[in-house]
Structures are given as C-alpha cells and as structure tokens.
Structure 1
Amino acid sequence: MSKRRSLRILMIRLGAMGDVVHALPSLQKLREFFPESELDWVVEEEWSPLLEGHPALSHLIVLPRKRWQKSWRRRPLSTLWQVWDFLKRYRRKKYDVVLDLHGNLRSGVMALLARSKAKFGFWRKASKEGNHRFLREVPVPLHVHKIEKNLYLLQRVFGLPFSPPSCATFPPFPPLGVEILRWWSSIPQPRIFLHPMVSRYGQIKQWPLPFFARLAELLSLKLNAGVILGYGPGEKKQLEELRSLIQVEVFPLPRLLSLPELVQLLARVDFFVGCDTGNLHIASALGVPALGLYGPKSVDIYGPYYPNAEALFSSSRPCLPCNLRLCPYGRNISPCMEELTPELVFAHIQRRLERQ
C-alpha cells in the first residue's frame, strides 16, 4: 500500500498491561507509514490510561467490560442500555482495515462487530479460543517475541518493512504530584524498584517472597541502595507480608499509583527487578536498566525486549520453557523459579550497576 494513502484503521488490543505496551511499536509503525490515516484503538477501560492522549492515535475506544460485569446483577436493564449505546457508537464508523493484535475470543467478537470488509488477525496456530473464525488468518512466525509477532502482522497485511523497534513511545502524562515527589526525594541512591507480585493468573511466574526479602536486604546492606517496593491492585496484603520478612529499611509505594504515575516513576529509577509482569515491560520500554526473573515462560517470546533490559532464567530443567499456567509438579512456587537464588540475582544486579 502507498505510504501516503489515507485509511481508516482499527487496532484491537484489549489488554493486559504488558501486551498493550507491546502493541505500541505497531501503532508507531502505522502512524509512520500512514501519516494521514485515522488510527483508532479498542482497549479495555483498565488499561486505557496508558493510551489516552497518545500522539499517534486518532481515537481511543474504551471498552468498560469489567464495569458492565459488576453492574449486571444490580442493574441489568441499565447495563444492557449501556452495552447497546456502546455498540451503536462503535459501529458508527466504517473502517478500511481492522487489525486484531489480541487473538482471543473477546477480541474476535470485537472484530466481528466492527464495520469493515477487511479484518485481519493471527492464524489459528498463533491465536486461541477460535479467534481465527472471526477474521482473515495471517501466518506469522510462532517463536518470536510478541512485539515482533505484531509487526509481522503489519508486514503481511500492509507490506510494511519489518524493523525491530528500539523503544516505545508513551503519551504525555501530567507531572507527578507533590506527595509522590516528597516521598521520592527521601529515598537514597541508587534507587532500585522491586515489583515482587504477579497476577493471580500468573502464579507459575512468581519468584518466592522470601527471596525478594533477602534480595532487598542484600541491596540495602551491600550497595546502600534505596529499595522501593511496588504493588498493584489487590496486592496490599502480599506487600505487608513481604515487609514483615525484611529486616532493613525499605520504601514501599506511599499509595496505589495510577498507570500514568507508575510510568513516570519507573522512568526515574536506577534499576528495576521483577517477574514477567506489565511493570517489567514498561520499565524495559522506557529504557530503564531492568532485570526480569524467568522460569516457565520463554524469554524469546515473553522476555523484556529493549536493549537495557535482560532476563535471568533457569536453564537446568529439560521441561523449560513449558509456557504453562500451572506447574505439573504441583508446587505453589515453580521449582525453576526457586533455582534463581537471591545471591545469584544480587550478583547480576551488582555487575550491571558497575557497568552503568
């Protein structure tokens, strides 16, 4: 397609945090090659603050799915009216191309409901839940990083040249508030951000909390680092459990941060350590020196992508990477994650900081 051709393009990537960040290079690529086109994006409400006001976007379509689920039992008629109103507005615009970068049943339904005769998504080997039945299947490589998988879809649909991105661009966010800045100024350098928790669907990726506690102590005692403890919605109890295990001064986030606040705070830290979570991928996309702790998941597909980030992973087990959600050994913590000792992780961080 001509670089100057004006199109109406709809991107579908509903969530989650890390996957929305992984789709940003595709948005940037489309804007680069179709500067006059309308580029819209459908995303679930929870993750929309990561995209609001993005300079490459024409319109952001926010899907309040979880809000509808909560209100359905109490106000079913009102909820039905909200869904109907959303669908009317959603179908008002006709698109030249719809791109499904999500690849599951929900995104397939959103593609089906969109007004377009050209709907493209990943072929059945690279999607799930029957997503391929709702659109035209596009073959993409299977064992590449998720960022590159998205870009290969653009290459096959539009003929765009494939080039790995060196960074991701976030929208401009409001400045951090005085409360956060005062807390930040009280933390000694180097400021090292630990994000110990994973989502309830990703428990197989969890590094043990006692290991995080020991790592925090090593960083504080041996490097005089200011150790920041991050947490997300519903993780306050785990944070308190972790704090009870740590025998040195640490700096938990003063409150639950909004996504724009989180992005801005991560951009300031000297180093980030965490499991395979959206926080790790935001830090990586910002160019922050980062270390991801991996076990069951393939680093080639799910690892931190950008140059300043690395992954530390166990390679001693023949079952790795299994890419499963439940460990077949029936353990709460995957044995492969336990093989990454706090001392091993600390030594890696120390070497990285010495090179910076």
Structure 2
Amino acid sequence: MKLLLVKLSSLGDVVHSFPALTDAKTMFPDLVVDWAVEEAFAPIAALHPAVRHTISVPMRRLRKTPLRAWRSGEAGAVRRALAREHYDIVIDAQGLVKSALVAALAHGPRHGFDRTSAREGLASHFYRARHHVPEVEHMATRIRKLFALALGYSLEGLPEDCGLRPLPPEEGAAPYLVYLHGTTWPTKTWSLEGWQSLARLAEAAGWQVKMFAHGAVEEARARKVAESCAAVQLLPPQSLDRLAPVLGAAAGVVSVDTGLGHLAAAYGVPTLGLYGPTDPQLTGMFGPRVRELAATGRECAPCQKSACRIAPHMKEGPPCMADHDARGVWAALQALGAQKG
C-alpha cells in the first residue's frame, strides 16, 4: 500500500504526525509512505522510519513570489513530484486550504477532516472522504484517529508511539542537558533570570548545558545565560538535521513551547515543557517521558495570544511564564529521570 501524507508545517505539527505513522505501519507492515512537507521541515519528516521519500514544498516562496517560482521551475517540479506516483490513499492531516490544494495535485483518493473538524472548513471540499474528528483532543491524537478512520482500523491496543528512540551519546562525551529558550511568540518565552538560575542549578549538580540560538534576540539571551554560568555551551547556528541528534542524545531537555521541544519529546528524552499562553492539552509535547508545567493561578492563561494584555510592555517572560520558579523546574526535570548514565 502506498500512502501520501500531506502535513506541511510547522515543526511541532510535523512531529505530531509521527504516532499516526507508527500506527499505520504497525497495521500495514508493507506500507510505503511519502510525505509532502515544507522544505525546511523535510529533514524532520524523514526521521520517521516509515517514511520512504519526502516531497519538499517551498510553500513560502510559492505564496510570496508565485511568478518567480513559476519561472524558475519550482512550481512545476513540485507538481511533477506529487504526480509521479499513484497512491492508494492521500491523507491531508493539516486541514488547511493550502494543504488541500497540495493534496489535490497527487493521484489517489483524498481523505481529510470534515468541515467542522478542519482548521479551515473550505479545505474539506477537496477531499473524497471527510472524517469527523472534533478539535477537543491533542492534535497527535486527532491525527491518529484520522488515519484510523481513513485506513479502516481500530486504535484499541495500539500504544502511543512516535517511532523514535533516544540516541546513544557520542563515545566519551559527557552527559548533557539542553535548554530550549527560543520561540516565535514573546509571550511563550521564559524570563532571562529563570534560565540563568536554572543553568546555575545544573552547574551545581555537575551538568553541562547546551543552548541553541536563532536570530539576534535569541543570541543575546543565550549569551547572557552563558555569561552567568560556565556550564553553558552555546552551539553555533545549525540546520535541523544537525540539531536533531543533539536533542536525541540529551539526558534531559527543558523547553518553552517550541518545535524543537516537541522533537525532543518524540525521541523519548525526558522533556519538561514550560507553558503560559498556550494550552498543552491540545498542542503540548507528545512522548513517553514528558511533563508540562502550565501557568497556574492566572485567569488569563492560557490566552492563546502572542502579545500580553496584562503586561504589554514586556518583551519576554510575561507574568504567566515568569511564575515558573527555577527550583521547581529543576525538581520536575529530575523527577522525569534525567540522569548522568
């Protein structure tokens, strides 16, 4: 059986599709999966063992400069790649008009969420089969149910399995933690003081801490954390395919609500998520060794907003996130089982 999965973005959404692929491969051992995905996330989609090929879709360029993309041949290349195979089934697990249009370029019966379940109801008009999976559960669970309905099997008895496993550390390398501080929304950031205190707690316990940074704002924050604690190692900007094994071999990860945190959780690494404006019940980290600390005692959280109405002047670390205490975060990470070997 040949299946085309359409799930273009974002990084967290891509990772949330992994458990459904594990289910499908378990039920159909001969299953062959191709995945149409935004080019930036193709290295992550390719991590799942069920995936044969990824079809990179330069969606941002196709939308921003369609004429240039057409003249350069990119649009035609994507169309030919999608039409190259005849699939037994095409599943759009995103439910957006753009993903439905990508799915429509492929050969095979198209399945997706129905009008009341899709993120954009109009997308459902492009599917042959529409499945009702209400947006009341975690996204990974909803995609699992979508696959089960489309392929005709029951989820009963199937474990929640992302299909990835922790990676062995490099020979002779000291065990380390990863702190993921960067995120797209200012409201999802933790305070600088929180990260600095957490780094010092790791140092006192004999840990090395690795941090990434993308862009000037993140680089400035990471540098200040490193300057406050000798245990922090700043890694240079790297591609996702090079960052993934760093996460997979970590002894533990502390993360704000960001895509790399979802990937760490999928690897089965002890992963602690810090939440404030977003709701981990619907889009939280999904994995066997995950704990999420949500904002407590604030009626405004989760607000699902990228700007804080309580403290609009704050550029990072809004009140709901600043409430997370470094000692409490450290204790929660230790309880997850982050150990030195």
| Fold match (TM-score > 0.5) | yes
Distance change (3 Å), C-alpha of 1:254 and 1:39? closer
Distance change (3 Å), C-alpha of 1:355 and 1:108? same
Distance change (3 Å), C-alpha of 1:193 and 1:88? closer
8 Å Cα contact 2:55/2:78 also seen in 1: no
1:86 is the counterpart of 2:78:
yes
Find the aligned partners of 1:126 and 1:286 in 2 and give their Cα distance. Answer: 29
> Of 163, 173, 195, which aligns to 2:180?
195
Look up the match of 1:29: 23
Find the aligned partners of 1:355 and 1:9 in 2 and give their Cα distance. Answer: 40
Find the aligned partners of 1:261 and 1:45 in 2 and give their Cα distance. Answer: 15
Distance change (3 Å), C-alpha of 1:263 and 1:123? same
How is 1:260-299 mapped onto 2 (pairs within 5 angstroms)?
260-299=241-280
Find the aligned partners of 1:354 and 1:198 in 2 and give their Cα distance. Answer: 23
Find the aligned partners of 1:328 and 1:215 in 2 and give their Cα distance. Answer: 27
Find the aligned partners of 1:285 and 1:151 in 2 and give their Cα distance. Answer: 15
1:42 is the counterpart of 2:33:
no
Normalised TM-score (structure 2): 0.85
What's the CA shift for 1:340? 1.2
Look up the match of 2:111: 120
> Of 141, 145, 148, which aligns to 1:152?
145
Look up the match of 1:167: 161
Distance change (3 Å), C-alpha of 1:204 and 1:127? farther
> Of 207, 215, 225, which aligns to 1:225?
207
Find the aligned partners of 2:79 and 2:336 in 1 and give their Cα distance. Answer: 50
> Of 199, 205, 216, which aligns to 1:216?
199
Find the aligned partners of 2:44 and 2:88 in 1 and give their Cα distance. Answer: 25
Look up the match of 2:308: 327
Look up the match of 1:3: none
Aligned with 1:58: secondary structure? strand
Look up the match of 1:206: 189
Find the aligned partners of 1:230 and 1:46 in 2 and give their Cα distance. Answer: 17
Find the aligned partners of 1:355 and 1:272 in 2 and give their Cα distance. Answer: 11
Identity over aligned pairs, percent: 28
Find the aligned partners of 2:69 and 2:144 in 1 and give their Cα distance. Answer: 40
Look up the match of 2:236: 255
Gapped regions of structure 2 (runs ≥ 5): none
How is 1:100-111 mapped onto 2 (pairs within 5 angstroms)?
100-111=92-103
Find the aligned partners of 2:85 and 2:69 in 1 and give their Cα distance. Answer: 27
> Of 238, 242, 253, which aligns to 2:222?
242
Look up the match of 2:126: 134
- Is 318-327 or 142-151 further displaced after alignment? 318-327
- Is 107-116 or 160-169 further displaced after alignment? 160-169
What's the CA shift for 1:350? 4.2
Output the aligned Cα RMSD: 3.1
What's the CA shift for 1:325? 3.8
How is 1:36-75 mapped onto 2 (pairs within 5 angstroms)?
36-52=30-46, 54-66=48-60
Find the aligned partners of 1:89 and 1:352 in 2 and give their Cα distance. Answer: 43
Normalised TM-score (structure 1): 0.82
Aligned with 1:207: secondary structure? coil
What's the CA shift for 1:137? 2.9
What's the CA shift for 1:172? 12
Find the aligned partners of 1:124 and 1:77 in 2 and give their Cα distance. Answer: 31
Q: Deviations over 1:124-164 (max 9, x none)?
A: 34322332232243111322111111011122222211156
Find the aligned partners of 2:208 and 2:113 in 1 and give their Cα distance. Answer: 44
Distance change (3 Å), C-alpha of 1:85 and 1:291? closer
Q: Aligned AA for 1:248?
A: C
Find the aligned partners of 2:99 and 2:117 in 1 and give their Cα distance. Answer: 14
What's the CA shift for 1:355? 8.7
8 Å Cα contact 1:273/1:292 also seen in 2: yes
Find the aligned partners of 1:89 and 1:56 in 2 and give their Cα distance. Answer: 19
Q: Aligned AA for 1:123?
A: D
8 Å Cα contact 1:28/1:56 also seen in 2: yes
What's the CA shift for 1:62? 1.5
What's the CA shift for 1:215? 1.6
Q: Aligned AA for 2:15?
A: V
User: How many residues are aligned here?
Assistant: 333
What's the CA shift for 1:69? 6.4
Gapped regions of structure 1 (runs ≥ 5): 1-6
Q: Deviations over 1:201-258 (max 9, x none)?
A: x33322123321222122223x222122123xx3354223332254220333432233
Aligned with 2:269: secondary structure? coil
8 Å Cα contact 1:213/1:242 also seen in 2: no
1:337 is the counterpart of 2:321:
yes
8 Å Cα contact 1:229/1:250 also seen in 2: no
Q: Aligned AA for 1:24?
A: F
Find the aligned partners of 1:238 and 1:354 in 2 and give their Cα distance. Answer: 25
8 Å Cα contact 2:290/2:336 also seen in 1: no
